[in-house]
Amino acid sequence: MCGITGYIGKNNNAIKVVMDGLESLEYRGYDSSGIAYTNNNKLNVIKEKGKIINLKNNIDFNIKSNLAIGHTRWATHGEPNKVNSHPHQVNKFTIVHNGIIENYIELKEELLKNNYTFKSSTDTEIAVAYIDFIYKKEKDILKTLNYITKVFRGSYALGIICNDDLNNLYAVRKTSPLIIAKGTNENYIASDVPAILKYTNKYMLLDDYEIAKISSDNIEIYNQKLELVTKDTLEFEGTYESSMKNGYEHFMLKEIHEEPNVFKDTINTYLDKDFKNIPGFSKYNNIHIVACGSAYHTGLVGKYLIEKYANIPVYVEVASEYRYKHNFYDEKTLVILVSQSGETADTLACLKKVKEDGIDTLGIVNVVGSSVARESKYVMYTKAGCEIAVATTKAYLAQLTVFSVITMYLTNNKTLIEEISTIPTLIDNLINKDYKPIAKEIYKNKDIFFIGRGIDYSIAMEGSLKLKEISYINSVAYQAGELKHGTISLIEKNTPVIAISTDDTLSEKTISNIKEVKARGAKVIFVTNQNINDNFYDIKIDIPRVNELLQPILTIVPLQLLAYEVAKLNKCDIDKPRNLAKSVTVE
Ligand code: M6R
């Protein structure tokens, strides 16, 4: 989704800082970019379609500037072109925007009646025109921004420059993420921490409807009554280097290699000799898990484990459906929201709705201080660190780890501590195997199937999503027993079928299903922790056998690396797959 950066400072470094920030936010996904910067008290705007390099090629980096805002746009209203790119400028105001102003048509009608005209198809141009319109009446920037928080519906993080006050940079947000960062003689705004890590690790979070007025050496935050509010300064634990590639060809590969430590850090947060930092679950007799994409898939694994071992009914739903459904919950229900970014619009909307209904919530979140973390009654952080690749790997594994811990906690099972200590090495061994020869067998295929039963089906869904999102190969996951009710008609000679079997109680049935596809010519890649040697598969990926509560954490690793190798052979943009964004902040 869109990325915002902004700079104001005495070091006159604005253009470089803002462009560095935009590059750090590339992982969020975008299709055009732009910058507005001051020079000799004049504001200049440059925008370009496509990659940031197109913008960089048009910028003179020798220009000294003390104030700038930049933007990477992921098109929602209007195609990705230069006119629709941000920043948008109307009279004295120039803004960058992340989010969607839902009532922009209504606002546009009002502006048209007041002789405003528009060049772009965006809701953002309406927003900046509306700010200008109100400013003409209020003649005060803070009052104007406060007013628009009461009028704009939808979501927005705005970086704002007003020609009447080039000594300050302004920002305001609702729902879409925005941080304010503190430097020495310079301050910043950004959509996310990586954008400013090269310059500072100190930042504060802006809450909904708050307005920031930022100069080189001062940050003022106002609430909706236009009173000054005090904010905690947070320090990001990682370093700029840790959020960079560290010599790996892709962030995705680097992040997979971090999984042994991510597992360790996440487990250590909640379990040593005893459980710790876990909210009391005893009063809940049913659980709902709500999330999107890969986070939804971890919820499915969580459901399987909690129902089987803790005997508590668990309902799992994707957030974009849950939000609009009639949900059966009461004071005995805990709603768990799972999100790496903590900013996914659908997940956040569910959280708000559930809260309004008075139901308790637990956020399983990776990004510290993100909206889901802040709004949830309880939070369990996944200790994955900064994840840049659009395809989640280490954060997914950390979410699985949290669900394993929750299940152990619910059943007061502390017997696995010894086995847990072996997991990082086992993950590492799986990472160090070569999956390229297997990838070579399948990368030219147009369709690839994943099958499994029970918990293996949930893992198959994630394996399939990983493969399709980065390699663009059509891939579907099926419950192994369901294939013969229709899908098996798609199996022909050499159709790859990746079959997962780690559950002894189901393996005979799964193997029968594998034989059914093998008999129809499928090329079977068998992923298993079982000691089976037979002729129903073409390739076997062995995974170490561990307790079922920990098994998914190992099973997923080869599937992530296989997806990576297939995408690499297909020369895909692995870290930034087309059409996708890291954090989906629109509904
Ligand atoms: O930040 P979130 O965990 O809430 O994101 C949810 C999904 O958008 C995300 O998992 C998505 O499916 C990933 N691209 C999958 O790799």
Return d(Cα 96, Cα 78) in angstroms, integer. Answer: 16
Q: Is the CB of 382 under 6 A from ligand 1?
A: no
Name beta bridge partners: 204: 180
Q: Is the CB of 391 under 6 A from ligand 1?
A: yes
pLDDT tens sequence across 400-435: 999 999 999 999 999 898 899 999 999 999 999 999
Return d(Cα 425, Cα 233) in angstroms, integer. Answer: 37
pLDDT tens sequence across 484-536: 898 888 899 999 999 999 999 999 999 999 999 999 999 999 999 998 888 89
Sign of torsion, CA 452 457 459 462?
positive
Mean confidence (pLDDT) of the chain: 93
Q: What is the pLDDT of residue 139?
A: 95
**Are both 202 and 125 inside the same structural domain?**
yes
What does the pLDDT average to over 161-178? 95
What does the pLDDT average to over 342-371? 94
> How many A from CA of 119 to the centre of ligand 1?
34
Q: Please, which residues have CB within 8 angstroms of residue 359's CB and are 6 or more apart in sequence? A: 329, 330, 331, 333, 334, 335
Q: What is the pLDDT of residue 533?
A: 81
**Are both 251 and 236 inside the same structural domain?**
no
User: Is residue 579 situated within a structural domain?
Assistant: no
Return d(Cα 78, Cα 64) in angstroms, integer. Answer: 33
Question: Domain with 322 in it: what CATH number?
Answer: 3.40.50.10490
Nearest-atom number in ligand 1 for the CA of 392 is: 16
The residue type found at 414 is: K
**Whose CA is closest to atom 4 on ligand 1?**
339
> How many A from CA of 296 to the centre of ligand 1?
8
**Are both 402 and 522 inside the same structural domain?**
no
Q: What is the pLDDT of residue 71?
A: 95
> How many A from CA of 230 to the centre of ligand 1?
33
Return d(Cα 519, Cα 498) in angstroms, integer. Answer: 15
DSSP E strands in 515-581: the ranges are: 523-528, 539-542
**Are both 200 and 268 inside the same structural domain?**
no
> How many A from CA of 218 to the centre of ligand 1?
36
**Are both 522 and 441 inside the same structural domain?**
yes
**Are both 261 and 321 inside the same structural domain?**
yes
| Top mutation candidate among 175, 289, 340, 382 for ligand 1, by most atoms within 8 Å of CB | 340
pLDDT tens sequence across 20-41: 999 988 777 788 899 999 999 8
Q: Where among 191, 209, 242 does a domain terminate?
A: 242
Q: Is the CB of 392 under 6 A from ligand 1?
A: yes
Residue 453 tokens read as 């039963």
| Band of pLDDT at residue 241, cut at 50, 70 and 90 | low
**Are both 13 and 138 inside the same structural domain?**
yes
**Are both 260 and 224 inside the same structural domain?**
no
Nearest-atom number in ligand 1 for the CA of 395 is: 3
Q: Is the CB of 464 under 6 A from ligand 1?
A: no
Q: Where among 242, 260, 292 does a domain terminate?
A: 242
| Band of pLDDT at residue 181, cut at 50, 70 and 90 | very high
**Are both 467 and 373 inside the same structural domain?**
no
User: Is residue 338 situated within a structural domain?
Assistant: yes
Q: What is the pLDDT of residue 134?
A: 97
Helix or strand holding residue 224 (H, E): none
User: Is residue 115 situated within a structural domain?
Assistant: yes
User: Is residue 425 situated within a structural domain?
Assistant: no
User: Is residue 583 situated within a structural domain?
Assistant: no
> How many A from CA of 295 to the centre of ligand 1?
6
Q: Which residues span the domain enclosing 304?
A: 245-414
In this structure, the number of other CB atoms found within 10 A of the CB of residue 10 comes to 12
Name beta bridge partners: 337: 290, 363
**Are both 364 and 479 inside the same structural domain?**
no
Closest Cα partner for 392 from 257, 486, 252, 566? 252
Q: What is the pLDDT of residue 194?
A: 82
User: Is residue 585 situated within a structural domain?
Assistant: no
Interhelix angle 259-270/417-431, nearest 10 degrees? 160
User: Is residue 426 situated within a structural domain?
Assistant: no
Residues labelled catalytic: 2, 582
Q: Is the CB of 337 under 6 A from ligand 1?
A: no
| Band of pLDDT at residue 1, cut at 50, 70 and 90 | low
**Are both 190 and 212 inside the same structural domain?**
yes
Q: Which range has highest mean pLDDT (80-84, 298-302, 413-417, 483-487)?
A: 298-302
What does the pLDDT average to over 435-457? 97
Q: Is the CB of 371 under 6 A from ligand 1?
A: no
Look at the chain and count its residues: 587
Per-residue CA distances from 109 to 112, 129, 151, 384 (Å): 5, 12, 14, 46
User: Is residue 409 situated within a structural domain?
Assistant: yes
% of the chain exceeding 70 in pLDDT: 98
**Are both 351 and 445 inside the same structural domain?**
no
Q: What is the pLDDT of residue 79?
A: 78
Return d(Cα 135, Cα 157) in angstroms, integer. Answer: 19
Return d(Cα 479, Cα 82) in angstroms, integer. Answer: 46
| Band of pLDDT at residue 560, cut at 50, 70 and 90 | very high
Q: Count the domains in the chain.
A: 3
Interhelix angle 417-431/551-569, nearest 10 degrees? 10
| Band of pLDDT at residue 175, cut at 50, 70 and 90 | confident
Question: Domain with 60 in it: what CATH number?
Answer: 3.60.20.10
Return d(Cα 299, Cα 291) in angstroms, integer. Answer: 7
| Band of pLDDT at residue 225, cut at 50, 70 and 90 | very high
Q: Where among 380, 414, 448 does a domain terminate?
A: 414
Q: Is the CB of 252 under 6 A from ligand 1?
A: no
Return d(Cα 3, Cα 412) in angstroms, integer. Answer: 43
**257 φ, ψ (degrees, to nearest 5):** -65, -20
Strands 523-528, 539-542: pairing kind? parallel
Question: If DSSP codes are grouped into helix, strand and coil, which group holds residue 302?
Answer: helix
Closest Cα partner for 103 from 150, 145, 147? 150
